[in-house]
Amino acid sequence: MFENIFMGFEHVLTWYNMAMIFAGTALGILVGALPGLSSPMAMIVLLPLTYSFSGLPALLMMMGAYVGTKLGGSYSAILLRTPGTPAAACTVLDGHPMVLQGKAAQALGYATVGSALGGLMGWLAASLCIPVIAGIAVKSGPADIALIGLAGLVMVSSFVRGSMLKGLIGMLLGLLLSTVGLDPQDTTPRMTFGMEELFGGIDFSAALVGFFGIAVVLSDLHRIEEGATRIREKVGLALPPVRELCRRWRAIAIGAFYGLFVGAVPGVGAEGSTWLAYATVRKNSKNPESFGTGNPDGILAPESSNNAVTGGTMLPMLTLGLPGDGSTAIMLGALLLHGMTPGITLIKESPEMVYGLLAGLGVAHVFMFLLGTLAIRPYIALLQNDRAWIFPFVLIMAMVGCFAGTNNPFPVLLAVLFGILGHLMELRDFPIPTVVLGVILGPIIEVNLRLALSLSNDDWWVFADTWPRKIILALILYIISKEIFLELKRMRLQSQNNPTVTP
Amino acid sequence: MRFAKYCLFAIVVLLPLLCFSAAKADYPAETIHIIVPWPAGGGTDNIARAFAASLEAATGASVVVDNVVGAGGVTGTLQAAKAKPDGYTLLLQGSSDISTVMVFQKTPFTLDDFDFLCAFYSTPTWVVAHKDRGYTDLKSFLEAADKNPGKLTMASATPAGAQLLMAAAIHGYTNGKFRIVPYQGGGPFRKGMLSNEVDAGVVHSPIMLPEVKEGIIRVLGTGAPLGKINYDPLRKTKTLNEMGIPFEVGITRGILLPRNTPHEVRAKLLEASKKAASSPAFAEFGAKFGFSPVWMEGQDFRKLLDNEVRTFKEIKEKFVDTQKR
């Protein structure tokens, strides 16, 4: 087992391959930091570039980009309140409040350390348990995936700040948007208004760019003058002291655990894991109220989680040829282009590729940490300029990202529409992330739920017929009943404290 | 202000590039774009990128692949139909990917909107099953279904595609006692087959070929002869026709051009495509892909599509519309 891992490093530790990983990681951080452009986009840009390389260097470069975007996304999430990638959306919650308190350097430090440690933990676990976890993941049926998605939705609605009702409304709006397009089973057009462009459903990049990018720019437009000072100051990076990290190891470990686990289940993706990790850390915290106001644990958990996902997705990708997210789907395509057949035979036919990629994942995280700590300035320079300069740039790059996914101008129009809608919702204190989460998880839940029912001949007991399913189901019911109970208690307390004045 | 300098720099660098691309000369003088209406990394995209590399070598012009994704391939196909017919916009699309959207939806284009150039890969659709289910061919699956009416499932890799029509044809012609379960594309389908959650499944070959070689997945039958596959034990797999189901199904991928592409441009492109499709590099891709390339010229490709649209419509009216899924 260990000789295989060493063999992987042997293939990777050449100047040429290291340079490829370094270039990929550097580009990844940049692309990740620019809102709207995320890792599938970086990798599609790299795909034609890598034709001239041989297989391993090409995929190592993509691996670097995959890892780099996970950190880069948090830069813009923290500094601009606009997540650079969907997986960084959760980092906004506590990252941006820290900036408002003048602790931008510390926030970036926590993000960098959290990403690196989480990623390395994920990598280590992936290297050690490729056979074990892959065996579990391949057995997870559509019912399991539907339940995991549902658990994610319930958890997010239970921890939104402010009104839970508004959180639920936002989430349901997201779910509603996700039903637009052809019905996944009998291909009836749903809410397409006869428009061909809507048949394929609402492009996810349009929702992300609209609700997070454009809506944020719109909301901040009238604050340009008052807010410019806080972003003008020089932002560096302050690594958190080791003692502080030791105290907060739990957030990193929980994040890495969820990242690895969710990454290994194909189809859920990094976004879900960050919210799950955040919710868990918050619920186990001694003072959950401090979350959302700049608690470093609220940065460490999602950042550790979204980097650990890279280790998790390697399990089904390298052992079964199953993509865990968009980026790994492109990597699998690149494997094919370079003459390898992804699937269970890959590890036998080209072990140097499988273990080389695993080694590359570890090296990429080291590079990411070095780039993050030593060369953060040029990256931040892009985001740190006067906001009036940045916003057109954000808008243009977001639109490009929106366009480049499909090479079609329609998602750009949708994004503008969502931007206006998101802005109006934000003005009325609706939590925007819940909308986007609904859009992301909606199709995953719907497709798997209906598939599970098709397979079981419409028998709903399929969702409770194995122990893992019973446990997830119990978890969902527990969260819902607890929320209702807490709400009732709060209402009773309120009515006791402010007895209604009777005439 | 540093940012302003960056912008200025970008403009200074990019402007001459834009000017250069406006220059014109003998075909092909500009970049040739191949529109692929599917996301990067899929079967059609992989073929397109291999073909683009070979076409680049054959023409000397640079050839790029544009993935114009959406609406089950309609967006990209429509964009190609509306493109300027100057030989710089090509469409690489699979026969049954076009014919199924024409059969299942009202499409904003018809076959007459295109000039058909050539086709180079023809892969049948096949029925597979996990070895643990114990079926050796389609007959043993159907017999098992008869013994447990309504219990067995057959996956279709897409909800409204050639795979579904093939499953429906098997279901209808044999009066099969199994249920059809539509999956969302090749990825989820592969997972479903490997985790053995479904009894059998219909998908385009060579999807699952590595697992077939490994002995985990068995091929029960095929929609068209498997003569071109580079795995000997499968070449003689029984076709639906041989098993008494009068339906032929597969996917032939080739190049379409916007209608009224000038004759001399088409001739040049055809010659270059033939050179590209017979190049050693393209054959090498075929070996990895799992099939040897074929060569089919425009009128034959068009005939194949006309035929497909007709038979697909027939099967849909006969067996899909009459069933509530």
**Other residues' Cβ atoms within 10 Å of the Cβ of residue A408:** 21
* pLDDT value for B257: 94
Q: Are the CB atoms for A122 and A256 separated by under 8 Å?
A: yes
The CATH architecture of the domain made up of B2-123+250-313 is 3-Layer(aba) Sandwich (3.40)
* pLDDT value for A1: 61
Residue A156 — very low, low, confident or very high, per pLDDT cuts 50/70/90? Answer: low
Does A498 reside within a domain?
Answer: no
Q: Note whether A337 contacts B: Cβ–Cβ < 8 A.
A: yes
* pLDDT value for A362: 92
**Residue B47 above 70 pLDDT?**
yes
Structural domain boundaries enclosing A367: 2-490
Does A503 reside within a domain?
Answer: no
Whole-model pTM above 0.90? no
* pLDDT value for A224: 59
Q: Note whether B2 contacts A: Cβ–Cβ < 8 A.
A: yes
* pLDDT value for B1: 46
Q: Are the CB atoms for B86 and B265 separated by under 8 Å?
A: yes
Q: Note whether A14 contacts B: Cβ–Cβ < 8 A.
A: no
Mutation pick from A139, A186, A338, A469 vs chain B, by most beta carbons of B within 10 Å, is A186
The mean pLDDT of A212-227, rounded to a whole number, is: 67
Residue B114 and residue B261: Cα distance in Å, rounded? 9
The class (CATH top level) of B124-249 is alpha beta
Encode pLDDT of A378-420 as tens digits. Answer: 777 766 555 566 677 667 766 776 776 567 788 889 989 998 9
Q: Report the residue from B3, B39, B42 with minimal CB separation from A385.
A: B3
Q: Are the CB atoms for A335 and A287 separated by under 8 Å?
A: no
* pLDDT value for B154: 94
Mean pLDDT of chain B: 86
Angle of helix B95-104 versus helix B74-82 axis, rounded to 10: 100
Does A500 reside within a domain?
Answer: no
Mean pLDDT of chain A: 79
Encode pLDDT of A14-31 as tens digits. Answer: 899 999 999 999 988 887
Residue A175 and residue A187: Cα distance in Å, rounded? 18
* pLDDT value for A482: 82
Residue B23 and residue A408: Cα distance in Å, rounded? 26
Q: Are the CB atoms for B317 and B258 separated by under 8 Å?
A: no
Domain count, chain A: 1
In chain B, what are the domain boundaries? 2-123+250-313, 124-249
Q: Report the residue from B40, B74, B188 with minimal CB separation from A330.
A: B40
Among residues of chain A, what percentage have pLDDT more than 90?
15
Encode pLDDT of A454-472 as tens digits. Answer: 888 888 998 998 888 998 8
> Phi then psi for A262, rounded to 5 degrees?
-65, -40
Nearest-Cα residue of chain B relative to residue A183: B159
Q: Note whether B57 contacts A: Cβ–Cβ < 8 A.
A: no
Q: B104-133 b/e with 16+ CB inside 10 Å = b?
A: bbebebebebbbbbbbbbbbbbbbbbbeeb
Residue A262 and residue A278: Cα distance in Å, rounded? 14
**Residue A474 above 80 pLDDT?**
yes
C-alpha B16, offset from chain centre: 39
The Cα of B210 is separated from the nearest Cα of chain A by a number of Å equal to: 6
* pLDDT value for A324: 64
* pLDDT value for A385: 57
Name beta bridge partners: B35: B66, B91
Determine whether the interchain pair B216/A344 forms a contact, defined as Cβ–Cβ distance below 8 Å.
Answer: yes
Question: How high is the ipTM of this complex?
Answer: 0.73
* pLDDT value for A227: 41
Going by the DSSP 8-state scheme, the letter that residue B223 receives in this structure is S
Residue B248 and residue B265: Cα distance in Å, rounded? 34
Does A501 reside within a domain?
Answer: no
Q: What is the CA radius of gyration of chain B?
A: 22
User: What's the full length of chain A, in residues?
Assistant: 503
Q: Note whether B149 contacts A: Cβ–Cβ < 8 A.
A: no
Q: Note whether A332 contacts B: Cβ–Cβ < 8 A.
A: yes
Encode pLDDT of B76-116 as tens digits. Answer: 898 899 888 989 999 999 999 999 988 888 888 899 999 99
Asked if B2-123+250-313 and B124-249 have one fold, the answer is yes
Q: Which residues of B, range 222-281, sit inside 8 Å of A by Cβ?
A: none
* pLDDT value for A342: 64
Q: Return the minimum-mean-pLDDT range out of A297-311, A410-424, A485-499, B8-22.
A: B8-22
Residue B166 and residue B156: Cα distance in Å, rounded? 8
Residue type, A480: I
Does A367 reside within a domain?
Answer: yes
Indicate the burial class of A498 (C-beta count within 10 angstroms; 0-12, 13-18, 19 or more): exposed
β-pairing verdict for B114-130 and B200-204: antiparallel
Residues of A in contact with B70 (CB under 8 A): 197, 199-200, 203, 406, 408, 410
The Cα of B227 is separated from the nearest Cα of chain A by a number of Å equal to: 21
